[in-house]
Amino acid sequence: MTHHEVEKYRKAIRVLHWIHSGAFVLLFLTGLVLFIPALGFLAEDSWTRLIHRIGAAIFVIAPIIYIILDPKAVGRGLKQAFTWGSEDLGWLLAAPRYYFLGDEKSMPPQGAMNTGQKMWWFMVLVFGIIFVLTGAIMWFAKEAAPSAVLQWMVFIHDVSFIVSGAMFFLHIYLAVFHPLINEAWGAMTGGKISVDYAKAHHGKWYEEITKSKEEKA
> Binding residues for ligand HEM, per CB under 6 A?
24, 27-28, 31, 34-35, 49, 52, 56, 59-60, 131-132, 135-136, 138-139, 154, 157-158, 161, 164-165
Least spacing, CB of residue 177 vs ligand HEM, in Å? 21
Which lies closer to ligand HEM via its Cβ, residue 27 or residue 112?
27
Query: Any residues with CB less than 8 A from the CB of 51 and at least 6 apart, and which?
Result: 26, 30
**Least distance to ligand HEM, CB of residue 123, Å:** 12
What's the closest the beta carbon of residue 108 comes to ligand HEM, in angstroms?
Answer: 33
104 phi and psi angles, rounded to 5 deg: -95, -5
The smaller minimum CB distance to ligand HEM, of residues 156 and 181, is found at 156
Which of 191, 203, 208 has its CA nearest to residue 11? 191
The closest alpha carbon to 111, from 184, 212, 204, 193, belongs to: 204
* Secondary structure, 3-state, 144-176: CCCHHHHHHHHHHHHHHHHHHHHHHHHHHHHHH
| Distance in Å, CB of 150 to ligand HEM, minimum | 9
Q: Which is nearer to ligand HEM, 62 or 184 (CB)?
A: 62
Of the pair 56, 94, the CB lying nearest ligand HEM is at 56
DSSP assignment string, 3-34: TTEEE-S-HHHHHHHHHHHHHHHHHHHHHHHH
Helix (H) or strand (E) holding 114: none
170 vs 180, beta carbon nearer ligand HEM: 170
Separation of alpha carbons 101 and 97, rounded Å? 5
| Number of neighbours of residue 32 by Cβ within 10 angstroms | 14
CB of 18 to ligand HEM, least distance (A): 16
Shortest CB 134 distance to ligand HEM, Å: 7
Nearer to ligand HEM, 112 or 137 (CB): 137
